[in-house]
Structure 1
Amino acid sequence: MDFATLIGLILGSIVVAVAVMLGSGFAPFVNVPGFLIVIGGAFSATLIRFPLKACLRSFGTALKQAFKEEVDSPLELIELAQHLATVARKKGLIALEDEAVNNALFAKGVQLCVDGHEAELVRSILRNEIHTSIRRNEVGERVFRALGDAAPAFGMIGTLVGLVQMLITLSDPSSIGPAMAVALLTTLYGALLANLLFIPIADKLRTRAEQERANKTLIMDSVLGIQQGTNPRVLRELLETHLPLDQRDGADGADATGDAEAKAA
């Protein structure tokens, strides 16, 4: 579970709710027609911009990527790659078939090696898998960013509708104040939804896509290195170049067991 997303949504909602309660209370801020204009308009505009299947898939992707921490640890992937490289050098690639690999892409790459496919074919298959997966996340990001763009625009449209309705009853001065307040509520709804929900989730999906691309590229390099029979210790050093500098220190502190495996190979 990614608690950052959940905490951010809850904290942001609490801040707005407390500010409202300290003022006039919730009642003046409730306007169902205005809310429907913002929500309905934003979703309608997004459906026009993207295929229906892409929109529906994006919501599932958002729930999975924004609220669940499912990104594999690069250090654990490097440890696994070093272990598999050691096994392959000692017993041959066929021995990798008995090794447990939980990551789906890594397992697929290892199986391709076990099946004896050429390195170029393995690289091509893994690269296509990476591009397909990343594209799925990118579409989700674009859908939520489109919602974030449309919500404030339809908030303004709702405000204009409210102003027109207010001007119709301009002969009654006592109704101008309440009518103006109602007209401005749709702008508030659009700004809140865009800046507290849609755009942050779009940014989170982009971050997840970047993390996933980095991990999957590391996996592809691991599989190709294992297939080529690279020394496990050398392979580890090559893979650590994918890590930020602050994480390489922890990776450099490999345990004696890992070093022993590499030397034995």
Structure 2
Amino acid sequence: MNITALPASAAAATFSPDIFLDPLAIGIVLGGTLASLVLRNQLRDVARAFAALRTLWRAPFAAAPLLHQTAALDRIARRHGVLSLDRSVIADPDMAAAIHAAVDGATPDQVATLVSDCIEARADRHRAAIEVWVGAGEAAPAMGLIGTILGLVQMFAAMTDPDTIGAAMAVALLATLYGALLANLVAMPIAARLKRLARTEAAQRHRLIAPLAALATLERARKRDFAA
């Protein structure tokens, strides 16, 4: 038996990336997933979830620079008093709030509670963004299934038209493919990475509680020494 191999040009003609592109299937999956996110979450959480994409490739949060800055502020406070820190420029909002509280006369426990509350509030915002992407990972396959059902309905409704049958079958199959890819290669990996980044940041920020609370201790000790 002689088997004649297809020429390379013929083989290339039988396979084209264009066959994996279907605007209707893309619209069903992407549009349906986005609609699900809007219905399931607050708009600010959806916006925060998309804004979080710019953090995916950043290095994990490290508290070391803030600890060094806190040590420098501690030296200033020991020399000139905690009130002198009121003129300090602090970029980190949690640390700035703690410094302002210490300057205003908060106790060490109050400063520690303030920092802990800031960390928890930040973690809540991170969780809200992560839940959006987890929801996208859950909704995308469902939208793919809906696209498959719509394609099959269209196919069975036009059994006498071969051209319509082929287009409907393409929608049915590609919608499932798009849903699976969107869930497993986009949404769930993003959610997993955001979880790791949020967990690392929370652990690092807890290292700031004791040094920031110690600044309030300095001011109270200074007041006692002055009264004595």
Q: Same fold (TM over 0.5)?
A: yes
Paired residue for 1:49? 40
Structure 1: runs of 5+ lacking an equivalent: 1-20, 230-265
Q: Does 1:65 align with 2:55?
A: yes
Report if aligned partners of 1:105, 1:216 keep a CA contact under 8 Å in 2: no
Residues 1:92 and 2:99 are matched in the alignment: no
Contact 1:71 1:211 (8 Å CA) reproduced = yes
Q: Which has the higher contact order (CA 8 A, sep 6+)?
A: 2
Shift in alpha-carbon separation, 1:26–1:136, aligned structure 2, 3 A: same
From 195, 198, 209, the equivalent of 1:209 is 198
Q: What is residue 81 of structure 1 aligned with on the other side?
A: 70
The percent of aligned pairs where both chains have the same amino acid is: 32
Counterpart position of 2:108: 119
Alignment of 1:191 onto 2:180: yes
Q: TM-score, normalised by structure 2?
A: 0.77
Question: Relative to 1, partners in 2 of residues 1:173 and 1:94: Cα closer, same or farther, differing over 3 Å?
Answer: closer
In 1: Cα distance, 2:125 partner to 2:65 partner: 25
- Aligned counterpart, 2:24: 33
CA separation of 1:70 and 1:133: change in aligned 2, threshold 3 A = farther
**1:134·1:209 contact (CA, 8 Å) conserved in 2?**
yes
CA distance in 2, matches of 1:77, 1:114: 18
* 2:142 is equivalent to residue 142 of structure 1: no
Q: How does 1:97-112 map to 2 (within 5 A)?
A: 97-112=86-101
* Range that drifts further, 49-58 or 131-140: 49-58
Q: What pairs up with 1:218-233 in 2 under 5 angstroms?
A: 218-229=207-218
The structure-2 alpha-carbon separation of the partners of 1:193 and 1:131, relative to structure 1 and needing over 3 Å to count, comes to same
Q: CA deviation at 1:179?
A: 4.4
Q: CA deviation at 1:139?
A: 0.6
Aligned-pair RMSD on alpha carbons?
A: 2.7
- Alpha-carbon offset, residue 33 of structure 1: 1.2
Q: Deviations over 1:52-81 (max 9, x none)?
A: 333233322x234335x3755322223223
Task: Tell me: CA distance 1:108–1:174, structure 2 relative to 1, closer, same or farther (3 Å).
Answer: closer
Residue-pair matches, total: 207
Larger CA Rg, structure 1 vs 2: 2
* Structure 2, unaligned runs of 5 or more: 1-11, 219-228
Q: Does 1:169 align with 2:175?
A: no
- Seen in structure 2, the aligned counterparts of structure 1 residues 111 and 173 have a Cα distance that, compared at 3 Å, is closer
Aligned residue identity for 2:156:
L
Deviation of residue 176 (structure 1)? 5.6
1-side partners of 2:117 and 2:100: how far apart?
Answer: 16
